[in-house]
Structure 1
Amino acid sequence: MKRKTIAAGVAVLTAAVLAASPVSSLAVTSHPSEDAASHSVRYQHIVEIMMENTSYSSIIGNAAAPHLNALANRYGLATNYYGVTHPSEPNYVANIGGDYYGIQDDNQFYCTPAMATSDPMCAGTTVDHTVNRPNLADQLTAANKTWKGYFQSLPPSPATLVTSGPAANGPYTFKYPSNSNALYASKHNPFLNFRNTQGALDNMVPDTQLASDLAHRTLPNYSLVVPDQCHDMHGTGPCSDTTGLISAGDSYVNDMVKTIMASQTWRQGNNAIVITWDEDDYSDSGQPGTGCCGSTVGGGHVVTIVITNQKHPRHIIDNTGYNHYSLLKTMEHAFGLGYLAHAGDSSVPAMTRLFRTNKH
């Protein structure tokens, strides 16, 4: 969560820099059919809304979040769900990659250990922040399925793109519109951390495009919706009051859910909306019991709500121990894909109950 000053050293984007590695080299640790706990339902669309830095107890029962509590009381609520580590960036990476690959900071996605002393945005970097491993988007592409990241306050992309240093622009911007008012932050865009997807600019769009895609029935199979830091409960610049942030995030989620559920796309096939948080508020950082699924220390206890488009909504309270790897495993199975990295661990349960349907 530390703010860093931007250093010199500009790298102009070229096809060579962002050339994707062959998707055919995807490595999976197991296939969905090998997991007896997995459900058999396939999904056409899953929209994941990723919120920020708020503990479970700060949301459930909080009068400042009436819409989130209403959704939790009407649909599926995972009461024992955890982030996998701190801070934000590694949780976003883990969420689509099945591992955070040693990343333990919010440094720029291009940072390497060699840059730790030359670029202030890379201070303390111990591992490469661009990962040459597959993620969920790669899997979907290889399976002829689609994906997109919808980012609120996404910086516009100029004709000449720069991927690092003080002139980084477009989605590669460290913080936008400024370091002190960082509505958009690249640390919340995990597609930048993976070599295969960091150049997929057509798949990183403003969140306002979601309504248009719904209207034109072009919603991708997987959508990652990331509000800006005044609406994801994180806070920046002019928005720092905790109660105000929770209220703003609650309203954002409510508007987004309403937009999705009002669409024709939502009513056809099997579809789901997942609302989750990257990590908690650090109140229990480093303490045992802040993780699950084989980990004693994780990213803290957070709310996760699952809404499916069933004819008759089921209110489910699920106290199984889950984390971001569980969600990835479940989404991979829902799309008929194999499991990446820790999503394939036997200690990581699929979120079967919350995604099971009773549609007729």
Structure 2
Amino acid sequence: MRSRFLALAVAALMSIGGVVAAGGSRQSAAAATGPCGTLTTAPTYTHVIWVWMENHSYSDIIGNSQAPYINSLASECGLATNYHNVSHPSLPNYVGAVSGLAVSSLSQFDTDCGPSKRCSTSAASIFGQGESWKAYEESMPSNCDKSNSGNYAVRHNPPPYFTSLSGCSTFDVPYTQLATDLSAGTLPAFSFVTPNVIDDMHNGTIADGDTWLAHDLPTILNSAEYQSGTTAVFLTWDEGSSGSSGESCAANTGDQSCHVATIVISPSTAAGSTSATLFNHYSLLGTAEQLLGLPALGQASSYPTLTSAFNL
């Protein structure tokens, strides 16, 4: 009788979806069935990949039946439930996220302008910090293209805006190069992936973006680079919907246009992990820098990273 009681008790404990850790983080107790949770101890990560979507708030995405793949990732991996963009419109977020520049230093980008003497910065960025980098830009006609073309929007491609960055003409490449690099085992330490304006949900629908991710993310997640256990992938949105130009969003918890979904995909992130800690794009920068052994740029040192909350 006592043995049966113990067995029932253990079964009941295993049925609990997860536990809440300090700081509002929740680590799932469920066995891994997707790309996350295959490792219990965080490895030394050698590759970080960012995938950026567009112009939808957290509530537009999480729980939306038009985004089944995204929501499956949120449940199979890690979800930051209190994550924020840093400003509006798009370009200040792209530039701020890779440089750590404060919102007060991003005003020249508030019109989503193309790269020019006025619309650029000499600031350092994560692209120039580490061992290697590439930006993979869907529908970009040629390397480091500084003009809009078809479904390619240069405002979603940050490297051309950094005047002190060398190598844009070599390492800012059309998206098709990503599959080649994954196959050849030449993925750089830091990768920035931008779908075109249909596939990133800017001009397309949420369903368009979800379909693109369902088709293209498995190329990364099934690659030898990811399967080796040393690649972390972060899926985020540049900004929420219907924001005001120049708005300070990094710690703004009262405006839904400042609240976006961010999903952490890594072998050491437990399936179903969530964190209500206030994170933002500066946190994302600091996380990438921490994982790759780089010093924090600008505002990245002012906000918590996602490493502890998601076992990175």
1:176 matched residue in structure 2: 149
1:45 to 47, 53, 68: 47
What TM-score, normalized by structure 1, do the two folds share? 0.69
2:106 to 89, 94, 102: 102
- CA distance in structure 1 between the aligned counterparts of 2:174 and 2:270, rounded to whole angstroms: 30
The alpha-carbon deviation at position 42 of structure 1 amounts to: 3.3
Q: Residue 212 and residue 259 in structure 1: after superposition, are their counterparts in 2 closer, same or farther (change >3 A)?
A: same
Give the letter aligned to residue 64 of structure 1: Q
Instruction: Please say if 1:317 is aligned against 2:307.
Output: no
Runs of 5+ consecutive residues of structure 2 not aligned to the other structure: 1-40
The alpha-carbon deviation at position 47 of structure 1 amounts to: 1.0
Give the letter aligned to residue 304 of structure 2: P
1:154 matched residue in structure 2: 140
| CA displacement, residues 11-32 of structure 1 (integer Å, 9 cap, x when unaligned) | xxxxxxxxxxxxxxxxxxxxxx
Any conservation in 2 of the 1:131–1:194 contact (CA below 8 Å)? yes
Give the letter aligned to residue 352 of structure 1: T
2:173 to 181, 185, 205: 205
The alpha-carbon deviation at position 196 of structure 1 amounts to: 2.4
2:128 to 133, 138, 143: 138
Instruction: Please say if 1:82 is aligned against 2:55.
Output: no
Q: Residue 198 and residue 154 in structure 1: after superposition, are their counterparts in 2 closer, same or farther (change >3 A)?
A: farther
| Corresponding residue SS for 2:179 | helix
Identical aligned residues as a percent: 37
Give the letter aligned to residue 230 of structure 2: N
1:349 to 301, 304, 310: 304
| CA displacement, residues 239-269 of structure 1 (integer Å, 9 cap, x when unaligned) | 5xxxxx1111011112222111111111224
Q: How does 1:222-301 map to 2 (within 5 A)?
A: 222-235=190-203, 239=204, 245-282=205-242, 285=244, 291-293=249-251, 300-301=258-259
| CA displacement, residues 291-341 of structure 1 (integer Å, 9 cap, x when unaligned) | 34489779611000000024x843211111111000101110101111101
| Corresponding residue SS for 1:172 | coil
Q: Residue 287 and residue 203 in structure 1: after superposition, are their counterparts in 2 closer, same or farther (change >3 A)?
A: closer
- CA distance in structure 2 between the aligned counterparts of 1:285 and 1:222, rounded to whole angstroms: 31
Give the letter aligned to residue 145 of structure 2: P
Any conservation in 2 of the 1:82–1:302 contact (CA below 8 Å)? yes
- CA distance in structure 1 between the aligned counterparts of 2:309 and 2:230, rounded to whole angstroms: 13
Q: Residue 199 and residue 146 in structure 1: after superposition, are their counterparts in 2 closer, same or farther (change >3 A)?
A: closer
- CA distance in structure 2 between the aligned counterparts of 1:89 and 1:130, rounded to whole angstroms: 11
- CA distance in structure 2 between the aligned counterparts of 1:153 and 1:134, rounded to whole angstroms: 26
The alpha-carbon deviation at position 198 of structure 1 amounts to: 6.5
- CA distance in structure 2 between the aligned counterparts of 1:215 and 1:313, rounded to whole angstroms: 27
Runs of 5+ consecutive residues of structure 1 not aligned to the other structure: 1-38, 113-128, 158-169, 178-182, 240-244
Any conservation in 2 of the 1:85–1:297 contact (CA below 8 Å)? no
Q: Residue 80 and residue 287 in structure 1: after superposition, are their counterparts in 2 closer, same or farther (change >3 A)?
A: farther
Any conservation in 2 of the 1:80–1:301 contact (CA below 8 Å)? yes
Q: Residue 298 and residue 291 in structure 1: after superposition, are their counterparts in 2 closer, same or farther (change >3 A)?
A: farther
**Whose helix fraction is larger, Structure 1's or Structure 2's?**
2
- CA distance in structure 2 between the aligned counterparts of 1:354 and 1:293, rounded to whole angstroms: 18
Give the letter aligned to residue 66 of structure 1: P
What TM-score, normalized by structure 2, do the two folds share? 0.79
- CA distance in structure 1 between the aligned counterparts of 2:306 and 2:190, rounded to whole angstroms: 17
Give the letter aligned to residue 265 of structure 1: E
Any conservation in 1 of the 2:87–2:245 contact (CA below 8 Å)? no
Q: Residue 318 and residue 271 in structure 1: after superposition, are their counterparts in 2 closer, same or farther (change >3 A)?
A: same
| Corresponding residue SS for 1:209 | helix
Give the letter aligned to residue 115 of structure 2: F
| Corresponding residue SS for 1:171 | coil
Instruction: Please say if 1:329 is aligned against 2:286.
Output: yes
| CA displacement, residues 272-300 of structure 1 (integer Å, 9 cap, x when unaligned) | 11000000111x54899x83448977961
| Corresponding residue SS for 2:152 | strand
| Corresponding residue SS for 1:184 | coil
2:10 matched residue in structure 1: none
